[in-house]
Amino acid sequence: MTNVTEFAADFAPGSVWLVGAGPGHAGLLTLQAHAAMQAADVIVYDALVSEDILALAPADTPREYAGKRGGKPSPKQADITLRLIQLARQDLRVLRLKGGDPFVFGRGGEEALSLVQSGIPFRICPGITAGIGGLAFAGIPLTHRDTNHAVTMITGHD
CATH number assigned to the domain comprising residue 122 = 3.40.1010.10
* Domain coverage including residue 125: 4-137
Whether 22 and 5 have beta carbons less than 8 Å apart is answered as no
**108-121 pLDDT per residue, tens:** 889 999 999 999 99
pTM given for the model: 0.89
Quickly state the pLDDT bin for 140 (edges 50, 70, 90).
confident
Per-residue pLDDT for 62 more than 60? yes
Q: Is residue 32, in this structure, part of any structural domain at all?
A: yes
Whether 39 and 91 have beta carbons less than 8 Å apart is answered as no
What average pLDDT does the segment 66-84 reach? Answer: 86
Q: Is residue 153, in this structure, part of any structural domain at all?
A: no
Residue 66, pLDDT score: 93
Q: Is residue 15, in this structure, part of any structural domain at all?
A: yes
Query: Three-state SS across the chain?
Result: CCCHHHHHCCCCCCCEEEEECECCCHHHCCHHHHHHHHHCCEEEECCCCCHHHHCCCCCCCCEEECCCCCCCCCCCHHHHHHHHHHHHHCCCCEEEEECECCCCCCCHHHHHHHHHHHCCCEEEECCCCHHHHHHHHCCCCCCECCCECCCCCCCCCC
Q: Is residue 152, in this structure, part of any structural domain at all?
A: no
Per-residue pLDDT for 1 more than 70? no
How many domains does the chain divide into?
1
Residue among 59, 54, 30, 60 nearest 124 (CA)? 30
